[in-house]
Chain A
Amino acid sequence: MGALDFLTAVQNQDGGWPYRMGGPSAPEATCHAVLACALGGGERAARAGLTWLTRALGDDGALHLPEEPTPHWTTSLVLYVLSTLREAPDIQARVVRRLLAWQVQLADTDAMVRLNAHLSGWSWNEGTFSWVEPTAYALLALKRVGWGTHPRVLAGTTLLLDRVCATGGWNYGNPEVMGRALPAFPDPTAWALLALQGSFVPLSVIQGGLDFLAREVPSYPSVLALALGSLALSAWGRSVDGLVSALRARQSVDGSWRQQVAVTALAELALLAASGGEHAFRL
């Protein structure tokens, strides 16, 4: 069985996808699964997923989880999916406005951490502090819809540059705490590199991130790191042969990777991109 077989088998009746089979539909898992199905030939499943995603958006253009007044970080991912699949332009415009108005908490300069706390990126939940991953999701989405030169996007790009680790690549948070350089990790590094496509940024930052991924990911013990590492490296034109074979070796007989929907979708998108198919995250 292939990944698409697994994804269609675990799709919920409401059209969305859970993180794990049998769970409630979750926006992040649905976004990645919709992309994997749409680009991999599962149009019908993707269509049902798209309907679930657009229904999950509020009138304000933000995605709110049930009983949660605060806009959720997956708002960016929904915009990315709609834009990539050229769906619902009116809804896209609403989401763009909401993302550009996204409020973050700025902090005073803290001697404990080495970062510019006055920079605005995007947060996991609106009204909290900016972090690398939600900022990368928002940059990807806004660039995809053609808002790459908006001041808010440029500010988010500056934030990512501010958070580069000394070793190259990105930690999920700060590059340094109390004088101690923090390590980079594969998943935030991959998202940041994908988000910096098309930006005028120092080549050394990109090279440093790519070198980090090429060095760390082949021996990293997780499918998520292999999938995202492969997507980021291939988006920037680097070879991913070793990662592809490692990914294939870890695929289960049911077509999934560890029976996790979001991870399976990302792994399938990585294989699709590596095999000459459409690259879901190349801008």
Chain B
Amino acid sequence: MPSGYKLTRRAFLKLGGSALVGTVLGASGVRLWGQFKQPRAQVAILKAPQYTMHLEEILRRGLLLYPGFVQRLRGARVLLKPNLIEYYDAHRVNTHPLFVAGVIAALRSLGAGEIIVGEGPGHRRDTEALLELSGLQDVLEQMRVPFVDLNLDATAPVPLVANHTGLGQLHLPRTVLQADMVISLPKLKTHHWAGVTLSMKNLFGVVPGARYGWPKNLLHWRGIANSVVDITLAVRPAFAIVDGIEGMEGDGPLYGDTVHAGVVIMGESLSAVDATATRVMGFYPEHINYLVMMLAHGGTLAPGQIQQLGERLEDVRLNFRVLDYLRGLKSPLPWINRWVLGEW
């Protein structure tokens, strides 16, 4: 090789440095452009210290921040989808029954028509046991609200517009399809595979186990993120209200520890609600695959595109513990988490 072309160590470092700076600038530009394209969304954060103290009124006040939604709510047949996955005495796994009761009371006070609570528990076939052990059965009986086991409901096929799972269509429960609006009521939790489980991941529970197995096994094999996005786009929930009064940190979604977060997070854009809830937990939503995937489907993640209603995010932000291999969730650099996970 002619000596004129010899790459010195200094030149190599300069070249490498320039390439790195160029890549970072390019990636930042793409991100900024991506954020600019995201639709505007509103997310309300409300302080709610306990499950018993004025919860109905707090929820009602939050819902009234969305006048368009409240107008559509009047007379509507509403399906509430809480998170009821397993029951353990020692772990706050599920959306609290009193939270579900508060939502029902608030929706009724705003003129909702028929309200149904539906869930297809993801792991266990014994839904009756879960309802009884969790206390949800008592609440629903007291409030005269029917429960539908979505695992065993009659189904109808829904074409998958994005088809990330490659399934082409998804059979969904008729109770879901016949509702005027579906409202996701997740719990604020970490998730040992997905990072966080919030209003979108909660929708795994609408998939009928009788067809797709437990724990909705066919969909897990098609990828959790792919499935979450496909289900969200097929169900198109009208609203999400996150039970963040008690959240779960560490080894979620089943065996983590309780965090008294004292917040309720709600809104019409599920991706924006989940992004905000993720930030409340002290993580960066840009690390959550299914949230990033939603950007291609009209989702909103960027803080600049989310109008915060109610409390300021800074005032309620916490620092949820995560499992060691998910510590990248707390890094502002999106690729750090993938690097920690060994994907880069």
Contacts and interface: CB of A to CB of B under 8 A. Distances in A.
Given A23-B154, A68-B211, A178-B251, A125 B218 contact: yes
Interface string B140-152: 0000000001001
B215 interface: yes
Interface in B77-92: 88
A187 B152 contact: no
A104 to B, nearest CB: 11
A222 B211 CA distance: 23
Contacts of B157: 67
B33 interface: no
Contacts of A187: 124-126
Contact residues of A: prevailing secondary structure: loop
Contacts of A177: 255
Contacts, number: 90
Interface stretch (A39-47, A93-101, A127-135): A127-135
Interface string A127-168: 111010110000000000000000000000000000000000
A102 interface: no
A131 B192 CA distance: 20
Contacts of B251: 178, 180
A26 interface: yes
A26 B128 contact: no
Query: B124, B126, B153: which has the most chain A beta carbons within 10 Å?
Result: B126
B129 A124 contact: no
A27 to B, nearest CB: 9
B133 A131 contact: no
A276 interface: no
B213 A221 contact: no
Interface size class of B (residues with CB under 8 A): 20 to 34
A223 B128 contact: yes
Interface in A60-104: 65, 67-68, 70, 72-73
Interface string A9-43: 00000000011100110101000000000000000
Nearest to A20: B152
Interface in B89-121: none
Given A23-B154, A125-B213, A131-B214, A172 B169 contact: no
A129 B221 contact: yes
A225 interface: yes
A23 B214 CA distance: 21
A123 B125 contact: no
Contacts of A134: 213
A109 to B, nearest CB: 16
Contacts of B210: 19, 26, 28
Contacts of B169: 67
Contact of A185 (B126, B149, B218): B126
Contact of B128 (A23, A129, A258): A258
Contacts of B220: 128
15 contacts: A24-B154, A65-B211, A67-B157, A67-B171, A68-B211, A124-B212, A124-B217, A125-B212, A128-B213, A172-B123, A172-B124, A222-B129, A223-B128, A225-B129, A258-B128
Give me the 9 closest cross-chain CB pairs, A-B, nearest first: A124-B213, A221-B132, A222-B129, A19-B152, A222-B128, A125-B218, A128-B217, A23-B154, A224-B126
Given A172-B214, A220-B129, A222-B129, 13 more contacts: A23-B154, A70-B218, A112-B192, A124-B218, A125-B212, A125-B218, A129-B217, A133-B125, A172-B215, A185-B126, A187-B126, A224-B126, A225-B129
